[in-house]
């Protein structure tokens, strides 16, 4: 009997009244019930997961940089080490792997994720889940096929902040009346002229070919690697072949504040405006606008994303939205709600500004806290498979964000058939749904 079947059968046994006193032994948090996990990307963002991972069995580590691998090995000395994530995944049975945590650069996310799902592994993937709409659709479809046995989570850990629940409650309970529009923004600005030119040779400690992975070839330049731990992503994420700039970076976190409140279906149309398109680098200044269909509790709404200095109009002159680095705003028929990740401001307006139209929840009706974000996934792998940012939710959300970039590159309003995954009113825009990969790399491995 393999480990997972053992856990499943013991969980069943635990449900029987006879073993009720033993229940704790088999509960999600029981020490006897540890996951066998692999960490891919063992420095930078990977190290932010060390403490949570230490509660489980980290059986394998993978990094293309041997110094970073050694760094991870210090924390998890018993783990087997790999340079190539494909070899690690090949060994999943001998390692007894239950799941993987992906903290490598963005251009590898959808590839590693999809290969892992194909091998029946639970996946936690750092944001953004994908770099193109095609990647996001492949990964989401694979997850939907496997959702009755696999737990997934995208690393938008701010989702666990209590403020996310409070914002959802205020919007859905009518504190701003009927919802009409929602906006998110981020004011980070990383100006890059174009891919870095060839400079020097990769150090012996770095397998640059594997770092490039599926991305088209670009010559080595140390500039891609000079960032501080947990911020090195800012050295490469502006380049189209490695990332999507703020859309995939802080956009993944900030649009989550909006999506968590609006129960979004995919948008039906998108348009964008921003600086001139650069074929090598994603834009600094950009705004993208989406038309979202009605759902069971609200009418159709507009959703907007603003970055690099672009901002929605503040409802009050004395509120400078730019002072909220990464924020969201909800516009309703009776007021505005402005939110950062951890706090919010409610601005009722008009004749009803006394808020008598709004019935506040009692304490015990509040959305319960999510708890520890990474551990929500551990527990999901061990039990109910439920996470807050699974590849269905996060896969849809990143598609919306990326559709904004498609509209930006297409240079016009586009209409979107989310079922078919096609732009319907401007065929040329469909070229921006995917991107080329280096020979020898496939996402369906
Ligand atoms: N959730 C958050 O708040 C948050 C914060 C920072 C970064 N991130 C995300 O985490 C990821 C990593 O960011 P970072 O700043 O740590 O980047 P980084 O450039 O420091 O890379 C992280 C690690 O991955 C390794 N690596 C690179 N290519 C690899 C490959 N093909 N296989 C295995 N290992 C590989 C690197 O050597 C490095 O040790 C990014 O996708 C970024 O968006 C998320």
Q: Into how many domains does the chain fold?
A: 2
177 and 97 assigned to the same domain: no
Residue 63 in contact with ligand 1 by CB distance below 6 A: yes
Q: Per the domain annotation, does 333 fall within a domain?
A: yes
Q: What CATH number corresponds to the domain at position 169?
A: 3.30.360.10
CB 326 within 8 A of CB 185: yes
Q: How confident is the model at residue 32 (pLDDT cuts 50, 70, 90)?
A: low
59 and 27 assigned to the same domain: yes
154 and 168 assigned to the same domain: no
| Most ligand 1 atoms within 8 A of CB, residue of 40, 42, 44, 438 to mutate | 44
The residue-averaged pLDDT of 214-224 equals: 98
Question: d(Cα 326, Cα 80) in Å, to the nearest integer?
Answer: 39
pLDDT at 118: 98
Residue 153 in contact with ligand 1 by CB distance below 6 A: no
C-beta atoms surrounding 231 within 10 Å: 10
Percent of the chain with pLDDT over 70: 93
Residue 103 Cα, ligand 1 centroid: separation in angstroms?
5
| Most ligand 1 atoms within 8 A of CB, residue of 126, 220, 254, 443 to mutate | 126
Residue 245 in contact with ligand 1 by CB distance below 6 A: no
Q: Per the domain annotation, does 214 fall within a domain?
A: no
Q: Per the domain annotation, does 240 fall within a domain?
A: no
CB 124 within 8 A of CB 394: no
347 and 270 assigned to the same domain: yes
Residue 43 in contact with ligand 1 by CB distance below 6 A: yes
Atom of ligand 1 nearest to the CA of 108: 31
At a CB cut-off of 8 Å and minimum separation 6, what does 319 contact?
338, 345
Residue nearest (by alpha carbon) to ligand 1 atom 7: 45
96 and 14 assigned to the same domain: yes
84 and 171 assigned to the same domain: no
pLDDT at 193: 94
- Residue 121's Cβ-count burial label (10 Å; 0-12, 13-18, 19+) is buried
Instruction: Write out the residue range of the structural domain in which residue 73 sits.
Output: 3-158
Residue 211 in contact with ligand 1 by CB distance below 6 A: yes
pTM (2 d.p.): 0.94
Q: Per the domain annotation, does 417 fall within a domain?
A: yes
Q: Per the domain annotation, does 23 fall within a domain?
A: yes
pLDDT in tens, 125-149: 999 999 999 999 999 999 999 999 9
145 and 253 assigned to the same domain: no
At a CB cut-off of 8 Å and minimum separation 6, what does 51 contact?
none
Alpha-carbon 40 to chain mean position = 16
pLDDT in tens, 295-306: 999 999 999 999
Residue 9: pLDDT above 60? no
Q: Per the domain annotation, does 371 fall within a domain?
A: no
Residue 289 in contact with ligand 1 by CB distance below 6 A: no
71 Rama sector, left if φ>0, alpha if ψ -120 to 50, beta otherwise: alpha
| Most ligand 1 atoms within 8 A of CB, residue of 46, 74, 83, 103 to mutate | 103
Question: d(Cα 273, Cα 38) in Å, to the nearest integer?
Answer: 41
125 and 258 assigned to the same domain: no
Q: Per the domain annotation, does 223 fall within a domain?
A: no
pLDDT in tens, 375-400: 999 999 999 999 999 999 999 999 99
144 and 253 assigned to the same domain: no
Q: What CATH number corresponds to the domain at position 133?
A: 3.40.50.720
Residue nearest (by alpha carbon) to ligand 1 atom 9: 126
Residue 339 Cα, ligand 1 centroid: separation in angstroms?
28
9 and 137 assigned to the same domain: yes
Average pLDDT score, the chain: 93
The residue-averaged pLDDT of 336-355 equals: 94
Report which of 286, 242, 306, 295 is spatially closest to residue 267, judged by C-alpha positions: 295
Q: How confident is the model at residue 30 (pLDDT cuts 50, 70, 90)?
A: low
Residue 23: pLDDT above 50? no
Q: Per the domain annotation, does 201 fall within a domain?
A: no
172 and 307 assigned to the same domain: yes
Alpha helical stretches, state H, 39-181: 50-53, 66-75, 85-90, 92-95, 106-118, 133-146, 162-172
93 and 174 assigned to the same domain: no
């Amino acid at each position: 009997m393999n480990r997972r079947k053992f856990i499943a059968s013991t969980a069943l046994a635990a449900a029987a009244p006879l073993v009720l006193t033993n229940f704790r032994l088999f509960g999600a948090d029981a020490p006897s019930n540890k996951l066998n996990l692999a960490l891919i990307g063992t420095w930078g963002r990977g190290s932010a997961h060390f403490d949570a991972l230490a509660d489980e069995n980290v059986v394998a580590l993978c990094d293309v940089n041997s110094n970073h691998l050694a760094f991870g090995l210090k924390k998890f000395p018993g783990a087997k080490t790999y340079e190539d994530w494909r070899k690690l995944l090949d060994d999943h049975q001998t390692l007894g792997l239950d799941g993987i945590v992906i903290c490598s650069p963005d251009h590898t996310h959808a590839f590693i994720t999809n290969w892992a799902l194909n091998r029946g592994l639970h996946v936690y993937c750092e944001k953004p889940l994908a770099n193109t709409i095609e990647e996001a659709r492949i990964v989401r479809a694979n997850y939907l096929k496997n959702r009755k046995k696999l737990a997934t989570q995208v690393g938008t850990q701010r989702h666990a902040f209590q403020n996310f629940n409070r914002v959802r409650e205020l919007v859905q309970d009518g504190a701003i009346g009927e919802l009409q529009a929602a906006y998110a923004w981020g004011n980070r600005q990383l100006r890059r002229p174009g891919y870095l030119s060839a400079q020097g040779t990769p150090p012996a400690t770095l397998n640059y070919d594997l770092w490039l992975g599926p991305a088209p070839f670009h010559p080595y330049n140390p500039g891609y690697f000079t960032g501080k731990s947990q911020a090195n992503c800012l050295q490469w994420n502006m380049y189209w072949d490695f990332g999507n700039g703020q859309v995939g970076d802080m956009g993944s976190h900030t649009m989550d504040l909006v999506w968590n409140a609006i129960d979004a279906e995919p948008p039906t149309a998108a348009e964008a405006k921003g600086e001139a398109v650069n074929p090598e680098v994603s834009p600094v200044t950009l705004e993208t606008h989406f038309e979202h269909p009605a759902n069971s509790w609200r009418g159709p709404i507009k959703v907007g994303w603003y970055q690099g200095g672009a901002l929605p109009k503040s409802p009050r002159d004395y509120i400078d939205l730019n002072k909220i680095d990464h924020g969201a705003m909800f516009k309703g028929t009776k007021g505005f709600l402005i939110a950062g990740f951890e706090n919010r401001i409610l601005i009722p307006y008009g004749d009803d500004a006394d808020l008598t139209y709004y019935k506040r929840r009692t304490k015990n009706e509040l959305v319960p806290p999510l708890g520890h974000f990474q551990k929500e996934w551990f527990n999901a792998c061990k039990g109910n498979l439920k996470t807050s940012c699974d590849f269905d939710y996060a896969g849809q959300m990143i598609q919306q964000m990326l559709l904004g970039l498609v509209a930006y590159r297409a240079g016009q309003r586009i209409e979107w058939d989310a079922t078919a995954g096609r732009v319907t009113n401007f065929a040329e825009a469909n070229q921006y749904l995917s991107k080329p990969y280096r020979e020898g790399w496939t996402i369906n491995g």
